[in-house]
Structure 1
Amino acid sequence: MDAQRSQIFLDFEKIQHLGPSHSVKHRGPEAFHQVLVQGDLRGLKVMVGEYREDVNLVFEVCSKEMEWQAKPLALGLSGLWSLEYKQELTSPLCIAASHGYTDCLQYLLQRGARPNMVVGNKSALHAACENAHADCAELLLEYGANPKLLTEEGLSSLHLCDTAQSFRCAKLLLKYRADVNQLSEEYQESPLHVVARHGLHNHTHLYLRYGASVNTLNIHQESPLASACASAWRPEDQEDYLQVCKVLITHGANVNSIDHEKRSPLHKASKNASLQLVQLLLRHKADVNAIDYNGCSPLANVIQTAPFKEELNPHCTVQTLLNYGSRKVWPAAFPKVLKTCAGSPKTIEVLFNSYQQIHVTEEWMEAVPEELFQLHRPFYGSLFALASSPRSLQHLCRFAARKLFDNQCHTLIPRLPIPKCLRGYLLLEPEGLVY
């Protein structure tokens, strides 16, 4: 920014009361700012053409906002909302681009506004892409905006294309030679990391078509595939992340890459109880028994998160991992599992049925809170009844068959010429009771 350029201080609470017609009748930064915010092209032409306002002016806009502040315990308060002044630097070009005012933007560029001026922490192109205004982005690029320019936070315009609506912006940036493998400064993330994390499969296709490196690692040694698997935690977003991961794997993503904590994509997908992602990764030879720095396997991860993921049926993920050969929980640790997953009886049932015989003790009964026992009384009644009884012959036959098939249960059992219900039994489908 030019050192000679003056900064204009504006009180937002004051200027927001100026209407379009009122603004044009007054000279000065407040009126100039107002016509820009409202996209008033006629007023803008008056301010620049007649009143000679500088199209490269820097505004420092002040506004009052409530901010949460922690207070000392001696005051008897854990926190307090206080009214603070917030200040933000911006320019006419950034204002027009962020609001999508293409006609105002074009007029400013024609009058000499500099497309690569960074004000505050970003340029007008950053503002346009951040708000998915493709027409503004195209206009700026035509006037020489640099698609590789970074914000003060170290992000390129391509990094800011993180919504489905920004797809056209991303296409334009790449058309104008944006670097699809440009890394952000702080976290060393590629644009592919960003769109994978947001579940944007169209962007993912686009970036890979333009040569994005599918196995680039960020500062945490996390790949785009791992970023996608870690972010797939909302039920309504599962299909989007599945499509992203399919595209990444098709283009050669390493399903067994590990981050700085030795967590694989399968660890992350399992922690989210993302069944379809877990199945996809396992079909592509993900290591079902990988161990992270905390000594946790993918199975341990889904067990830990099961009580919070009931809407995603975590027992199905547990079932899938066991059918692909996951090592079982150490029997002596089962009371801890029971305590963690008491609210997910189907998860407990699937795990319990993966053993030939495991001794049910009084400690197990104490691990289940009374309210959960009453809520799931038929299941827990059948489970605790086995404290003095062996497992049924039918279960022992199931265990023998599964031991024979080992880590190929998922492949071989569905091929057996037996009734569908019996195949489900061998694959540990829960029934609501154990015997």
Structure 2
Amino acid sequence: MPGGRSSPPHGRHNRGCLPTSPTCQIWRSQSYPAQRTQPLLCRDMALQNALYTGDLARLQDLFPPQSTADLLLESRAAEPRWSSHQRGLWSLTYEEELTTPLHVAASRGHTEVLRLLLRRRASPDSAPGGRTALHEACTAGHAACVHVLLVAGADPNIPDQDGKRPLHLCRGLGILECVELLLKFGAQVDGRTEDEEETPLHIAARLGHVELADLLLRWGAHPDVRNADGWTPLLVACDTHSQSPQDAEATTNRCFQLCSLLISVGADADAANQDKQRPLHLACRHGHSAVVELLLSCGVSTNAMDYGGHTPLHCALQGPATALAHSPEHMVQALLNHGAVRVWPGALPKVLDRWCMSPRTIEVLMNTYCVVQLPEEAKGLVPPEILQKHHRFYTSLFGLVRQPRSLQHLCRCALRCHLEGCLPHALPRLPLPRRLLRFLQLDFEDVLY
């Protein structure tokens, strides 16, 4: 329901009541002086029904020209909550909440009703439950209501009970129009939430909303602003992940577009948060292969460790199963070709156990060693159906355990070791045939020699 929990109202209030509503009564807060008049509490169900249905004709009758719409309405919370009325006795009840006619109209998109209430002296910044009508209109994405309230003088920078400004709450189909209206009426583009200290650009990054981020940046949003935990919008964007395999591709595409946009306007591609996590760590952990290659092209630190001692390659190999849909082998290949430190050989059985369904990931890792360093019992880590599906590759892998590799492969290892530290710049400049160059860059052959 619009509004919030019962609490003393704040903002501008006018004295008066509906002359046609006998069920209205004075509502006072104990925290206010007795002589101060508060908005009236109205329990008229006819009024409430007209408000919720947007019945303009009925409301015009209920609000004649000399009446006031500066009223309070009681409503129930959307969900029951546990409460205690006696010591040791708890019950599940619906809490009563306070709202106003203006909140109801704004949350439901009743624009003409909103205009009527404002003409009847409804206070645009009234917030009996901690939210103004502007907060409600932005949350629902009703751009027309947002415009009406702003023209009436609603404050575009006032925080709600959770410390969020209207610009932080914009959602729905009208999100872009709502945001642009708020900015035109003076909303602070880098205004922060009170606890998390997040800007609207952080919110856009978390939503994966490329068009919203672009709009905010065009209005001057700072691309490297940090929240209370040291996260920049780029870090937030790289931390997005899909909730199911079905939307994994769409999430990755949005993440790539958002990161490209932020980097194009000067965002620090190597900024670390308080846990020393960088965008590359987060992109690897969530399997965003295209974002990983984008960040590597910016020259970010390939072997930087977070507070847990994890490098980006560790994060990539600890990523979710949904990463299989986005070819994790390309992400691992890119990291290794940009100088990522190889996996400790003793950890290879764990990697095999986790990524056996992606034989190319195993292949690219094994091709950075001169010898296949797996124990004899490692074959038991791969399920029979996977062995059968990728028979050629796994036959070659287990056939090389503790055996010498081909001379061509040993030459590759020697050259890569010699160029260590400058691989991404040196390899493409070598005057070699394209096929041999791809071989040096760990191109996939689906078999080991």
- Name the TM tier (shorter chain): 0.7 to 0.9
- 8 Å CA contact 2:143–2:174 kept in 1: the answer is no
Could you tell me the percent identity over the aligned residues?
39
TM-score by length of 2: 0.82
Q: 2:350: which partner in 1?
A: 336
Which residue is 2:311 aligned to? 297
Q: Which amino acid aligns with 2:108?
A: H
The answer for the alignment partner of 2:209 in structure 1 is 200
For structure 2, the 5+ residue unaligned runs are 1-8, 14-27, 29-37, 83-90, 243-247
Mapping of residues 130-141 of structure 1, within 5 Å: 130-141=139-150
Q: Summarize deviations over 1:354-394 as a string: whole Å, max 9, x none.
A: 22223232242233344543443332222111125311222
**Does the CA-based 8 Å contact 1:342-1:348 persist in structure 2?**
yes
Asked whether the 8 Å contact 1:271–1:302 carries over to 2, the reply is yes
Task: Write the letter of the residue equivalent to 1:96.
Answer: A
Alignment of 1:243-254 (within 5 A): 243-254=257-268
State the one-letter code of the partner of 2:413.
Answer: F
Q: Which of 440, 444, 447 is the equivalent residue of 1:426?
A: 440
Q: Which of 29, 49, 74 in structure 2 is aligned with 1:34?
A: 49
Residues 419, 35 of structure 1: alpha-carbon distance in 2 compared, 3 angstrom cutoff: farther
Provide the rounded CA distance (Å) in 1 between the counterparts of 2:121 and 2:200: 31
Shift of 1:411: 4.5
Give 1:207 shift.
2.1
Structure 2 counterpart of 1:75: none
Instruction: Kindly report which structure 2 residues correspond to 1:228-267, keeping only aligned pairs within 5 A, or say none.
Output: 228-233=237-242, 234-267=248-281
Say which of 92, 99, 107 aligns to 2:108. 99
The residue that corresponds to 1:177 in the other structure is: 186
Gapped regions of structure 1 (runs ≥ 5): 9-27, 69-81
Q: What does 1:12-411 correspond to in 2, within 5 Å?
A: 29-49=44-64, 55-62=69-76, 65=79, 85=94, 87-162=96-171, 165-233=174-242, 234-305=248-319, 307-411=321-425
1:294-330 deviation line (CA, Å, top 9, x unaligned): 1100110010015342111111111111111111111
Q: Which moved more, 1:108-117 or 1:364-373?
A: 364-373
Verify the 8 A CA contact 1:201 1:244 in the aligned structure 2: yes
Q: 1:374 to 1:47 in 2, by over 3 A?
A: farther
User: d(CA) in 2 for partners of 1:348 and 1:121?
Assistant: 55
Query: Which has the higher relative contact order, 1 or 2, with Cα contacts under 8 A spaced 6 or more apart?
Result: 2
CA distance in structure 2 between the aligned counterparts of 1:165 and 1:242, rounded to whole angstroms:
24
Residues 247-286 of structure 1, C-alpha deviation per residue, up to 9 Å, x if partnerless?
2222221222111211001111111111121112111121
Does structure 2 retain, via aligned residues, the 8 Å contact 1:159–1:191?
yes
Structure 1 249/388 Cα, relative in aligned 2: closer, same or farther at 3 Å?
closer
Q: 2:259 is matched by which residue type in structure 1?
A: C
How large is the Cα RMSD of the aligned pairs? 2.6
Letter in structure 2 aligned against 1:350: V
Give 1:385's aligned amino acid: G
253-262 vs 285-294, which deviates more?
253-262
Residues 279 and 88 from structure 1, CA distance in 2 versus in 1: closer, same or farther, beyond 3 angstroms?
Answer: farther
CA-CA distance at 1:86 after TM superposition: 5.4
Tell me the CA shift for residue 169 of structure 1.
1.0
Tell me the SS of whatever aligns to 1:231: coil
Identify, as 1 or 2, the structure richer in helix. 1
- The farther-off stretch of 308-317 and 366-375 is 366-375
Deviations 1:105-134 (A, max 9, x none): 111111111111113231111111111111
By how many angstroms is 1:229 displaced?
Answer: 0.7
Q: 1:113 to 1:412 in 2, by over 3 A?
A: same
Aligned mates of 1:31, 1:51 — CA distance in 2: 19
Normalised TM-score (structure 1)? 0.85
